[in-house]
Structure 1
Amino acid sequence: MFFYVLIVMIGVVCGPLMRQVQAADRPNVIIVITDDQGYGDIAAHGNPIIKTPNMDRLHAQSVRLTDFHVDPTCAPTRSSVMSGRFSTRTGIWHTIMGRSLMNTKELTVAETFKAAGYRTGMFGKWHLGDNYPMRPQDQGFDHVVWHHGGGVTQGPDYWGNDYFDDTYEVDGKYHKFEGYCTDVWFGEALSYIKANRDKPFFVYLATNAPHGPYLVADKYADPYRKQGLTDTMARFYGMITNVDDNLGVFMQRLDDWQLAENTILIFMTDNGTAAGMRGNKTWRGFNAGMKGNKGSVFDGGHRVPFFIRWPAGGLIGGRDDNVLAAHIDVLPTLVDLAGIKKPDGPPLDGVSLAKRLLDPSMPMPDRQLVLHQQRVHTPIKWRNSLVFTERWRLVNKDQLYDIEADPGQNKDLAGQYPEVVKKLQGRFDKFWDSLQPVYNDYSRIGLGSDAQNPTTLMSHDWLVEDYKYSPWNQARVAEGLVGSGPWAVNVEREGEYEIALDRWPLYIDKPIGAKHAKLAIGDKTVDADVDPSAASAIFRLHLTPGPAMMQSWLTGEDDKVRGAYFVRVRRLP
């Protein structure tokens, strides 16, 4: 009898932990991250207009981190999710201008799971570098289906894409798809899961929706137009409802294939709402009482949904947890939940929330987290900055808000709590000082590697000082923005190289429209007259290995000088 009672007691006390160990032997892991969808853009969070029944269902089945934070914009958040480190530390503090390229010294969550024997797939938006060695296939993913740049229709994206029947890259080659972009990402992810369901897999499913331009079928936008919403908001909400439809099919397939039970499924977003507050008198929008939206260091810019469901591990039941957490915690948390070993890599900024998720009574240490929204060539101290704890938000160095008493951040208490201000300022000082080595470093595009030869560089990644000189999107290229900037590159192998300067992507088949071309790479400079009707200006150079800056200039028939928006580099046999 004593033996029976002992066994029962062990089961009661250790049951959840045993379930964790057994399930974590080989759980699948899926991260679904949407683009520009805010905390208030989900019906389950109190939005009375938007229709998100499947997000609501996942919300009801998950542990919800209600005080979860990311960076206020796209690429920085994604670098932190991938690395478990503050985004600036990875080399990213912008979404363009060569500062959205992740340092290849980072150890990604994909590399971590791949080292543990997982199959790894990535679908949708990457936004951490379009060239070797920063592409998703260079950063731990076995199979990738993705668009270039920070969004469909941006400069590095395949020209002619408009969200419908687009051309995306599949494992290094372009492939034309049928259907809406979000449908493609979910469909390709399901095909990958189906083919690998007998093996453990890690899937990163990152939709570009509902990022602008706000393009979606009328059947999704019309129901919101009929309720009197602005056209922009109707399309934005329609894109989210389309994501929701896909999420519903996705979760049903996991059930059908008996994968849901032992799959860690995370749903999150990359920053605050982009268009969810662009309303009118009929419907202004819903932001869950928060101030700010995408790009803001007030809570509406960075507090986002985070649902995590893992039935076999006990992460079920629709439970809220208000523990302070952030994107930097995703990697260490997944490592612990899955019971895998993290390879050696740079020190993490995030902490594991695994024990807290499994046992909500588990205390967590007080934390002082930091973020800043720079969007400049070189970061400026205190620019769009935030230091935050469970209670306090120190905004832009000298504004202090008690988020528990004042969730709308309407009353500045800095004058009443100078000691809190000083303490949090000290935290930012340490954060800033720790990042100093990064500010003058560059994430360099590889030239001449066997992994990508030839490679095409695009002006989205020019290292320019001012946003107005960055031809980061197709519209600026089409209008012929005047200016030029360098790319930070690394010549991987010595040899003869052919470098072609282009005004347009080669597949567009338009003339260069320039009468003179000039190229500089490292200490080499070459120039030549050009036939304006030619497609390209082509140079041949002998390059030696090592880091360099590469820049181009095209003198047009109008005598204006522009950089080549596209440069193709090929190491010759």
Structure 2
Amino acid sequence: MKSRLAGILLASIAGISLAAERPNVILLMTDDQGYGDMSCHGNPVLKTPEIDKLYAQSVRFTDFHAAPKCTPTRAQLMTGVDAMRNGATRVCQGRSLPHPDFKMMPQFFADAGYATGLFGKWHLGDSYPYQPRFRGFQEVLSFRAWGITSLADYWGNDYYDPMLELNGVDKPYTGYCTDIFFDEAMKWMQQRKKEGKPFFLYLPTNTPHVPEQVADTYSTPYKGKYKGMDIPADFYGMIANIDENIGKLEVFLKKQGLRDNTILVYLADNGTQNRNAMTLFNAGMREHKGFPYEGGHRVHLFVRWENGKLKHGTDIAELTTVQDLLPTLMDLCDLEGDRSAFTGTSLASLLKGEQEKLPERMVVSQIGYTCQLWQQAVVMKDTWRLIKEMKNKKKKITGGMALYNIAEDPGQTQNVYTEYPEIAQSMEAYYEQWHAAARPLWEKKRYITIGTDHENPLKLYSNDWQGDYCDNPQGLIAGKAKGYWDLIVDRDGTYEIELRRWPEESGKPLIDSFDETSNKGALPVAKARLQVGEFDQTLDTQPEATVVRFSTPLKAGTTTLTADLLNKQGNVICGAMYVKVTRK
């Protein structure tokens, strides 16, 4: 009995020691907040006092780059690998799924004994094996696809009193989405502290992404104009709410005694999404989210860890990228694991002042659906940026290769490609070698797996199919998109497959309209066709039908699934955007 008690005591002491020695980590990432969307970076209208305090207390990276869109950034952040190599280069069309071969950030932390939690946006897949609870997160409060109100999200959801997904189960919550994510994250951290366990918290807000919904308390102070320019009141209001929550988080960390031994990392996933915000103040940069110019991908990065004795209150101007954060946190937290696939480099020595500069590097960012040579790509070296510009008469862009030196031309208005041919040619050569190496990895198929015990039944959404762009209400209403899913059948068996035009929880008939007060979105669905493996069947539908059910035996292995809705002549109208698969 004594030996047993001694063992329990030693285990308890070991757990407390681990928590005391290893820092906690909070990775806070906002959605579509640009570099200029905070007062500490010079915004003349927006007030962000809590972010400004964090800025003053942190190491700031002033030449830090994400991808120009959310999914590629998130996949690079979680894997430490370029989007082209991990496969997640787009927000939908089957390209928001990073290859499951790559180990993710929470898995490294979990292997080291950390508690891992995600509270907020994932956007890296909504079916097995891509959901966060299968990629290393032990506690997950999130939503599907790109955000609340997306096609895959719970029907009728918005930012107030939303239905959220808690560990894979839809659950109603009360309040504003950002407040909920912060509040629930703080409850989770408090519990981990009681357990004496270090934690890794990923807190990626879905704001200030569209739809721009926020209480008047936050938006009213920004209504009006500034020097003749429209102020984006709701957009700025959402950031004001984030700022308030950062203040609450700071109070919580101090009260719980967690502040000094918690690494707090604050960044954004891409440039600003709001055109009025870009026009009003964009820190001198060109363009916004989605573009290969600085305004699309240069974002803030603040890092604070009091016990780590970092170079707080200073700026680091080295060219750095979101892929660098995983190896950096592994070094700061002494995590073990295979780093051979990483394309990022650790910034730990820069943060600690042990190193002033990184070895010379070139960084490539490329996103998109086809990822051909130079499509949506930018090559970065020191202060040089190389882009192949698309012709645009409206913006007076003639097209062709463009080289910019942002040290002298931060707004990227002067193409100096012909003036510095050696620099341009070296960057072109590097990119072509990089693309040749990355492209085969990008082409590797990524499969959704049906019939496992992990997720049965399993739902397929059109945002994850290969085919037409269809991840938002506009695509759902239009009712024209078509596609198919690449699948792995986990085991032989009989499978029931349900096809729907509208989400299951809506209860809407296949032929119904979007809002029931107009014909918007109504389709003359009279038949449904399912093709999977060797099975190919078409069934008639009834006007009141909400679902069409098929049953078929499937063999284990890879296959494709195509689910179409047809008119009475048998012509395809669109794909079934919601499919449910159950192994019987």
In structure 1, the residue matched to 2:75 is 79
Is structure 2 residue 355 aligned with structure 1 residue 365?
no
The letter for the 1-side match of 2:553 is H
Deviation at 1:260, TM superposition (A): 0.6
168, 172, 197: which one aligns with 1:172: 168
Q: Structure 1: which 5+ residue stretches go unaligned?
A: 1-20
TM-score calculated relative to the size of structure 1: 0.91
In structure 1, the residue matched to 2:271 is 272
With over 3 angstroms needed to count, the CA separation of the structure-2 counterparts of 1:43 and 1:22, relative to structure 1, is: farther
In structure 2, the residue matched to 1:101 is 97
Is structure 2 residue 59 aligned with structure 1 residue 63?
yes
Deviation at 1:473, TM superposition (A): 1.2
C-alpha separation in 2, matches of 1:539 and 1:345: 45
Is structure 2 residue 154 aligned with structure 1 residue 158?
yes
In structure 2, the residue matched to 1:51 is 47
Is structure 2 residue 582 aligned with structure 1 residue 565?
no
C-alpha separation in 1, matches of 2:580 and 2:230: 40
Does the Cα contact within 8 Å between 2:271 and 2:296 map onto a contact in 1?
yes
469, 492, 495: which one aligns with 1:494: 492
The letter for the 2-side match of 1:30 is I
397, 420, 438: which one aligns with 1:435: 438
Is structure 2 residue 564 aligned with structure 1 residue 553?
yes
Q: Deviations over 1:118-167 (max 9, x none)?
A: 00000110000011100000100000000101111010111111100000
Deviation at 1:227, TM superposition (A): 5.1
TM-score calculated relative to the size of structure 2: 0.89
Is structure 2 residue 107 aligned with structure 1 residue 111?
yes
In structure 2, the residue matched to 1:398 is 401
Q: Per the alignment, in what secondary structure is the counterpart of residue 323 of structure 1?
A: coil
C-alpha separation in 2, matches of 1:388 and 1:303: 11
C-alpha separation in 1, matches of 2:406 and 2:508: 55
356-365 or 26-35: bigger deviation: 356-365
Does the Cα contact within 8 Å between 2:224 and 2:230 map onto a contact in 1?
no
Deviation at 1:470, TM superposition (A): 2.7
Give the 5 Å matches for 1:205-220: 205-220=203-218
Does the Cα contact within 8 Å between 1:84 and 1:328 map onto a contact in 2?
yes
In structure 2, the residue matched to 1:11 is none
534-543 or 72-81: bigger deviation: 534-543
Is structure 2 residue 474 aligned with structure 1 residue 478?
no
C-alpha separation in 1, matches of 2:574 and 2:444: 26
Deviation at 1:471, TM superposition (A): 2.7
In structure 1, the residue matched to 2:423 is 420
Q: Deviations over 1:182-202 (max 9, x none)?
A: 011111111110110221000
Is structure 2 residue 292 aligned with structure 1 residue 297?
yes
In structure 2, the residue matched to 1:9 is none
Deviation at 1:24, TM superposition (A): 9.0
The letter for the 1-side match of 2:579 is V
Does the Cα contact within 8 Å between 1:24 and 1:337 map onto a contact in 2?
no
C-alpha separation in 2, matches of 1:162 and 1:346: 42
C-alpha separation in 1, matches of 2:350 and 2:441: 33
Q: Per the alignment, in what secondary structure is the counterpart of residue 196 of structure 1?
A: helix
Deviation at 1:521, TM superposition (A): 1.1
Does the Cα contact within 8 Å between 2:222 and 2:231 map onto a contact in 1?
no
C-alpha separation in 2, matches of 1:171 and 1:413: 52
C-alpha separation in 2, matches of 1:356 and 1:261: 20
The letter for the 2-side match of 1:313 is G
Q: Per the alignment, in what secondary structure is the counterpart of residue 120 of structure 2?
A: strand
Does the Cα contact within 8 Å between 1:125 and 1:151 map onto a contact in 2?
yes
Give the 5 Å matches for 1:19-418: 25-197=21-193, 198-226=196-224, 233-275=232-274, 277-278=276-277, 284-315=279-310, 317-342=312-337, 344=338, 347-359=341-353, 361-374=355-368, 376=369, 378-396=370-388, 398-418=401-421
The letter for the 1-side match of 2:457 is P
C-alpha separation in 2, matches of 1:498 and 1:257: 50
Q: Structure 2: which 5+ residue stretches go unaligned?
A: 1-16, 389-399, 512-524
Q: Per the alignment, in what secondary structure is the counterpart of residue 68 of structure 1?
A: strand
Does the Cα contact within 8 Å between 1:30 and 1:205 map onto a contact in 2?
yes
In structure 2, the residue matched to 1:511 is 509
In structure 1, the residue matched to 2:515 is none
Deviation at 1:436, TM superposition (A): 2.2
Deviation at 1:303, TM superposition (A): 0.6
The letter for the 2-side match of 1:534 is A
Does the Cα contact within 8 Å between 1:487 and 1:550 map onto a contact in 2?
yes
The letter for the 2-side match of 1:53 is P
In structure 2, the residue matched to 1:4 is none
In structure 1, the residue matched to 2:397 is none
C-alpha separation in 2, matches of 1:132 and 1:570: 13
The letter for the 2-side match of 1:28 is N
In structure 2, the residue matched to 1:528 is 539
With over 3 angstroms needed to count, the CA separation of the structure-2 counterparts of 1:392 and 1:83, relative to structure 1, is: same
With over 3 angstroms needed to count, the CA separation of the structure-2 counterparts of 1:139 and 1:554, relative to structure 1, is: same
Deviation at 1:276, TM superposition (A): 5.5
Does the Cα contact within 8 Å between 2:128 and 2:134 map onto a contact in 1?
yes
C-alpha separation in 2, matches of 1:446 and 1:336: 34
C-alpha separation in 1, matches of 2:452 and 2:321: 36
The letter for the 1-side match of 2:376 is N
Deviation at 1:474, TM superposition (A): 2.2
C-alpha separation in 1, matches of 2:21 and 2:376: 43
Alignment size in residue pairs: 540
Does the Cα contact within 8 Å between 2:530 and 2:537 map onto a contact in 1?
yes
Deviation at 1:556, TM superposition (A): 3.5
Does the Cα contact within 8 Å between 1:232 and 1:275 map onto a contact in 2?
no
With over 3 angstroms needed to count, the CA separation of the structure-2 counterparts of 1:510 and 1:187, relative to structure 1, is: same
Q: Deviations over 1:241-275 (max 9, x none)?
A: 10110111011101110001000000000001111
C-alpha separation in 1, matches of 2:341 and 2:566: 47
C-alpha separation in 2, matches of 1:362 and 1:33: 26
The alignment yields a C-alpha RMSD, in angstroms, of 1.9
Q: Per the alignment, in what secondary structure is the counterpart of residue 260 of structure 1?
A: coil
The letter for the 2-side match of 1:568 is K
438, 450, 453: which one aligns with 1:450: 453
With over 3 angstroms needed to count, the CA separation of the structure-2 counterparts of 1:223 and 1:557, relative to structure 1, is: farther
C-alpha separation in 2, matches of 1:392 and 1:372: 16
Q: Per the alignment, in what secondary structure is the counterpart of residue 561 of structure 2?
A: strand
Deviation at 1:438, TM superposition (A): 2.9
Is structure 2 residue 548 aligned with structure 1 residue 537?
yes
With over 3 angstroms needed to count, the CA separation of the structure-2 counterparts of 1:292 and 1:431, relative to structure 1, is: same
Q: Per the alignment, in what secondary structure is the counterpart of residue 328 of structure 1?
A: helix
The letter for the 1-side match of 2:463 is H
C-alpha separation in 2, matches of 1:331 and 1:80: 9
In structure 2, the residue matched to 1:18 is none
Deviation at 1:532, TM superposition (A): 2.6
Q: Per the alignment, in what secondary structure is the counterpart of residue 476 of structure 2?
A: helix
The letter for the 2-side match of 1:565 is M
Q: Per the alignment, in what secondary structure is the counterpart of residue 542 of structure 1?
A: strand
Q: Per the alignment, in what secondary structure is the counterpart of residue 233 of structure 2?
A: helix
C-alpha separation in 2, matches of 1:368 and 1:76: 18
> Percent sequence identity over matched residues?
40
Q: Per the alignment, in what secondary structure is the counterpart of residue 486 of structure 1?
A: strand
Deviation at 1:391, TM superposition (A): 2.3
C-alpha separation in 1, matches of 2:229 and 2:260: 41
C-alpha separation in 2, matches of 1:219 and 1:458: 36
Deviation at 1:407, TM superposition (A): 1.5
Q: Deviations over 1:17-67 (max 9, x none)?
A: xxxx99993100110000000100010001111011111000000000111
C-alpha separation in 2, matches of 1:227 and 1:250: 32
C-alpha separation in 1, matches of 2:387 and 2:482: 35
Q: Per the alignment, in what secondary structure is the counterpart of residue 425 of structure 2?
A: helix
The letter for the 2-side match of 1:275 is N
